[in-house]
Structures are given as structure tokens and as C-alpha cells.
Amino acid sequence: MRRRQKPPLPKRHGLDPARLRLPEQGEWETVRDHLVERLPMVAPARIDELLRTGGIVDLDGPITPETQFVPGGAVWFHRDLPDETPVPFDITVVHRDTVLLVADKPHFLATIPRGRHILQTALVRLRRELDLPDLVPAHRLDRATAGLVLFVVDPARRGAYQTLFHRRAVRKEYEAIARYDPDLELPRVVRSRIVKDKQVLAAREVPGEPNAETEIELLAHRDGLGRYLLRPLTGRTHQLRLHMNSLGIPILGDNFYPTITDKPVDDFGKPLQLLAASLGFTDPITRQPRRFDSTRTLQAWHDPDGWATVSAAGYTGGPVAGDAPTHGPTSTDP
């Protein structure tokens, strides 16, 4: 496998610098001229400041406002970070060894940097807090969903674990809380065709050959609520949320299905009641069976009144029920 070129700038806040490849053709006299045209969202004054302070480099070191444009070259720089509201919940580490780290992610924390979530992501937090600068994820979990995420400590072995997910060789179980419908026959397998358009927040089900499949089972019910076990056999965007909604029992706290609601990014109330509860697979390196289980619970099942009343305005900094505090590393391998 071809290794990625090592950036000539060190990580900052646990983040690699951005790499910008210069076009093979162009009439720009300087790299500065190209950057001003290439990055319209960045003020020219900010580009000039980065050039003056050595914040933009090529393989030979910092470049200046006068550095000539070289077709096919590359430059590196650290992007300016957005203002982020800290996510007030800790990450639990359920397993750590020299190859793998399994994190138990809280609700509202994205897995990897993207858009307006950069420092407040599981990857960046773990890199910084555990001094693991090369940590990489083997898969992703939605920001709204809590539960297990598998990370690889040694990037050279990432491909072996990513392949498990691509081959659907990972046994994943989720728990969800939703309305109880006594007329709904469960267990059952839900199959549908799901598509997700770019620049559109929600996915949708459309007619056609199914590409998404979920086993759904009722574990228990009380007071009009059901506790459900979900086993996704495929991994489409928002698959579990769509399939539960298609049965008429949307997951509690879902701000996308059946309708999109505008929830402020700093509102940590009423989290989506969906938990990635377990991961199981045969380790591609050791060939030994592995299983990991979440330490978290879903608040709407154990404390429905508390789940319904906690809001951003009412949050005071303590742990919300169902979001476990950080523990030391423990293995749940069989």
C-alpha cells in the first residue's frame, strides 16, 4: 500500500495540516495569487498574514508572498478553527492495546473533524487526551448516536480493520427507545432502498432494489415505550432511524425523521435514543474473536421524565443520565 506523504508541518490540536496541491496548469505568478483565487472564503489579508508568519509551507519550508507558482507542487497549512461549544460529556475507553482502541462515544460528539465540528470530535479529543497523535478511526458513528467506535492505534493496520466493515464482517447491535405499538409484529427484518443526496441533511427511502437491511426486535416495553434491539446487516446513512420511522415508531429524540427540526448545535437536551451497544468480529491480525460492549444506557428508558426535561438551558455541567464518565481501559474480549 502506498503511504501518504508525511506533512512538513506538525499536528496542531491533534490535527494534521491541510494539503493543497497546485494545478498542473495556470498563469499565476505567485503561490499567493493562486491561494487568493483558490480560497475565496479566506480573506486575502489572512493569507498574507500566514505567509508573513511562516504558516504556509512547501517541502522546502515556509514560503513567502513572493514565492513563485510551481505547477503540480503542493503547500501545507493549518486551517483556522471555527468557534465550537464544548460537548460537556466524557468519552469512555472500554479497550486499549498497542493496535486497537475502542471508545464509548457520548451523544452530540462527532467521530471525526468535519464542517463546524473540529476540536469537539472523538478523534481529536482522544489524540490529545491519550497522547496518540496517529490514532485513526476504522469506521464512523453519527454525531447524534452514542456508543462504540473502533479506532486503530497503528495507522499501518487501519486497512485490515476497515475491510471488516466494508465486508460486513462486523456484528453490530444497537439499542433504541421508541413508542411501543402493540399491533406491530416483531421481530422482523426491514428491507428498503435508501439514498442520500449531497448537500441534503436527511436520507430517504425510494422504490427499487433494497440496499439496506435491518433486523428489529422488541426487548421490553412499559408505560408506552419500547426498548428495541437493532441489528443492521448493511450500513447506509441513517439506516436505523429510517427503518424505525418506516414502522411508525421513530426513535425518540430524532430531529430528522419523520420531519427535520432545527435544533441549535449547543442544545444538549433530549439526545437521540440510539446506542451502538456492541461490536463483534474475528480479529484480522490475531484471528481471535473479539467482542466489545458499551457501558452506556439510554436515558429515556431509565429516566423518561429526566430525558424529556433536560435542555441546553437546564444543563449545569454535571453528567446527564446515560452519559457515563470516563473509565480506565478495560477489555471485554471473550
| Residue range 299-315, pLDDT digits in tens | 999 999 999 885 543 33
The stretch 212-220 carries a mean pLDDT of: 98
Owner of C-alpha cell 478495560: 330
C-beta separation of 250 from 257 below 8 A: yes
User: What sign results for the dihedral spanned by CA atoms 87, 93, 94, 98?
Assistant: positive
Quote the pLDDT of residue 85.
87
3-class secondary structure per residue, the chain: CCCCCCCCCCCECCECCEEEECCCCCCCCEHHHHHHHHCCCCCHHHHHHHHHCCCEEECCEECCCCCECCCCCEEEECCCCCCCCCCCCCCEEEEECCCEEEEEECCCCECCCECCECCCEHHHHHHHHCCCCCCEECCCCCCCCEEEEEEECCHHHHHHHHHHHHCCCCEEEEEEEEECCCCCCCCEEEEEEEECCCCCCCCEEECCCCCEEEEEEEEEEECCEEEEEEEECCCCCCHHHHHHHHCCCCECCCCCCCCCCCCCCCCCCCCCCEEEEEEEEECCCCCCEEEEECCCCCHHHHCHHHHHHCCCCCCCCCCCCCCCCCCCCCCCCC
Which position among 33, 80, 131, 142 bears the catalytic label? 142
C-beta separation of 310 from 107 below 8 A: no
C-beta separation of 124 from 118 below 8 A: yes
- 126-144 pLDDT, tens digit per residue, is 999 999 999 999 999 999 9
C-beta separation of 256 from 194 below 8 A: no
Distance CA 158, CA 131 (A): 18
Beta bridge partners of 92: 104
Quote the pLDDT of residue 310.
59
Neighbours of 116 (CB within 10 A): 13
Q: Using alpha carbons only, what angle is made at residue 170 by residues 155 and 154, rounded to the nearest 5 degrees?
A: 10
Which of 49, 52, 45, 57 is closest to 18 using CA atoms?
57
- 6-61 pLDDT, tens digit per residue, is 788 888 888 888 899 999 988 899 999 999 999 998 899 999 999 999 999 999 99
- 234-286 pLDDT, tens digit per residue, is 999 999 999 999 999 999 999 999 999 988 888 899 999 999 999 999 999 99
**Helix axes 31-38 and 44-52, enclosed angle (nearest 10):** 140
pTM over 0.85: no
Whether residue 305 lies in the annotated active site: no
Quote the pLDDT of residue 4.
59
**pLDDT reading at 164 higher than 90:** yes
**pLDDT reading at 224 higher than 60:** yes
